[in-house]
């Protein structure tokens, strides 16, 4: 009977912790491209292709750290509990966000971003937390609630990040010093770090542990650190076929999504006469805020509705992939005006992502339970391979962009967005090949 009272309390504080954490994470979106371009120019990379290549490398550095360490953190949460791993990630964010804002060279920024990714496995552990406290019938709505935190984070974070960029020019007053003039991106990074610190205080005071002692796995006595990393990364082979396919589908989707994420601001920042939109960090912040708003409406509203409960989870997942693919392929054909038309493909992307993320998380959780796999390990593996996808996506996007941005014919800056669209279609076809276990979702 106690399970009916503690989960809502746990969900409420988990929602706040994830939301504040994601606001901090998404604060960097509007200015990261410009920051890396400035660092690259300062280090002597003056050609457009060479300079923009570092944007993809910088994004990949964060997710490379996640790829190596998220499976470890997921497995540790199965042994130590979810709460301490979540709090560790929040401390890591606080330290490395602030350090990133102080970066004066590409190499320092790369190291800091790698360490930030290595220390933050919170999304995987948060999903495992939900799996601990939810019945199958509750999963879709509660995964959607975490998705709503994503949406709110994407709505609030980029808006704040865009507004806070370059306070020397935009605010004046106490910011009219040479230090702030030479550190135009530090203020949003500082705010991101402080938000993670607030989230840590909330977690340490109010977040209950979701995994009882009797449900935790025992620590293994053999194997060093490198062996544990390898075992966690290749351990997907021991999971059931449906779980593996769902992890693969998620990985394909994330490659497509991160290709767009890497090159979208490169495209919008291009001069209009070269085919871009000529937008600055603030305009891009408004766009991502709109994406977040649509995500909130879909994941925080629709996914928790009675209609969503009645709809087939698998079909919703496929529909989300296809709608998102439509938006991804539409992007390079945009024009600066009217601005409302720029928001249409972004609405498709947000809608598709809003349908895909909670339904995919629901299916992988149910399949993990059916095969009696540890949720922390499964979610850690999914986030680890998702991180691998977020390494491949930015690097692939950066190389394709660098090779085609000045091209002609079919090989132009359109290429990366067409590739994104193609990969979502492949992910949808892979999902259709999946044979699900006969699980009762109304337990």
Backbone angles phi, psi at 186, to 5 degrees: -75, -40
pLDDT on residue 7: 40
pLDDT (tens digit per residue) in 251-302: 999 999 989 888 898 899 888 888 888 888 778 888 888 888 887 788 767 8
Q: State the number of CA atoms in the 13 A half-sphere of 313 facing the CB.
A: 28
Span 7-208+232-432: which CATH code?
A: 1.20.1250.20
pLDDT on residue 223: 53
Tell me which residue of 421, 316, 310 sits closest to 360, measured CA to CA. 316
pLDDT on residue 352: 92
pLDDT on residue 275: 82
Identify the segments of the chain with pLDDT beneath 50. 1-8, 221, 440-443
Tokens of 319: 């529909």
Tokens of 300: 């925080």
Tokens of 149: 């935190």
pLDDT on residue 235: 58
Q: State the number of CA atoms in the 13 A half-sphere of 27 facing the CB.
A: 29
| Cα distance between residue 267 and residue 244, in whole Å | 34
Q: Taking phi first (over 0 means left), then psi (-120 to 50 degrees means alpha), and beta for anything else, what does residue 209 get?
A: beta
pLDDT on residue 10: 67
Record the pTM: 0.72
Query: Where along the chain do its domains lie?
Result: 7-208+232-432
Q: Determine contact, residues 21/196, Cβ cutoff 8 Å.
A: yes
Residues written for the chain: 443
Tokens of 231: 């075992």
Q: Determine contact, residues 30/282, Cβ cutoff 8 Å.
A: yes
Give the helix, strand, coil percentages of the chain, each rounded to 5: 80, 0, 20
Query: Please, where are the H alpha helices in 215-305?
Result: 225-234, 241-269, 281-295
From residue 311, give the alpha-carbon distance in Å to each of 117, 120, 140, 256, 295: 36, 34, 11, 26, 19
Q: Is 359 helix (H, G, I), strand (E, B) or coil?
A: helix
| Cα distance between residue 211 and residue 379, in whole Å | 15
């Amino acid at each position: 009977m106690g399970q009916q009272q503690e989960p809502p309390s746990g969900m409420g504080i988990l929602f706040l912790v994830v939301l504040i954490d994601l606001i901090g994470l998404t604060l960097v979106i509007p200015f990261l491209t410009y920051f890396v371009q400035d660092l690259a120019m300062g280090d002597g990379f003056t050609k457009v292709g060479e300079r923009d290549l570092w944007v993809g490398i910088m994004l990949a550095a964060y997710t490379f750290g996640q790829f190596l360490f998220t499976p470890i953190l997921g497995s540790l949460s199965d042994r130590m509990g979810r709460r301490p791993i979540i709090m560790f990630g929040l401390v890591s964010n606080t330290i490395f966000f602030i350090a990133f804002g102080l970066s004066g060279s590409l190499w320092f920024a790369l190291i800091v971003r790698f360490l930030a990714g290595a220390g933050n496995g919170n999304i995987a552990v948060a999903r495992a937390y939900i799996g601990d406290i939810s019945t199958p019938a509750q999963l879709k709505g509660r995964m959607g609630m975490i998705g709503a935190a994503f949406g709110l984070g994407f709505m609030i974070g980029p808006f704040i990040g865009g507004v806070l960029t370059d306070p020397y020019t935009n605010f004046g007053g106490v910011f009219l010093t040479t230090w702030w003039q030479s550190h135009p991106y530090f203020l949003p990074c500082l705010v991101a770090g402080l938000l993670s610190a607030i989230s840590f205080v909330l977690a340490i005071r109010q977040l209950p542990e979701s995994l009882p002692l009797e449900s935790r796995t025992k620590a293994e006595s053999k194997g060093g650190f490198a062996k544990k990393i390898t075992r966690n990364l290749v351990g997907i082979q021991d999971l059931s076929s449906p779980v593996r396919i769902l992890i693969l589908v998620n990985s394909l989707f994330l490659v497509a999504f991160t290709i767009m994420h890497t090159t979208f601001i490169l495209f919008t920042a291009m001069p209009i006469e070269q085919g871009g939109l000529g937008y600055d960090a603030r305009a891009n912040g408004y766009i991502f805020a709109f994406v977040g708003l649509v995500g909130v409406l879909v994941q925080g509203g629709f996914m928790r509705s009675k209609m969503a409960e009645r709809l087939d989870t698998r079909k919703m997942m496929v529909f989300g992939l296809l709608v998102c693919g439509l938006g991804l392929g539409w992007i390079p054909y945009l024009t600066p005006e009217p601005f409302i038309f720029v928001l249409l493909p972004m609405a498709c992307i947000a809608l598709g992502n809003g349908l895909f993320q909670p339904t995919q998380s629901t299916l992988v959780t149910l399949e993990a339970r059916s095969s009696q796999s540890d949720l922390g390990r499964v979610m850690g593996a999914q986030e680890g391979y998702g991180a691998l996808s977020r390494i491949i996506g930015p690097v692939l996007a950066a190389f394709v962009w660098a090779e085609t941005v000045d091209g002609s014919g079919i090989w132009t800056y359109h290429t990366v967005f067409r590739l994104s669209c193609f990969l979502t279609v492949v992910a949808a076809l892979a999902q259709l090949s999946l044979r699900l276990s006969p699980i009762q979702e109304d337990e």
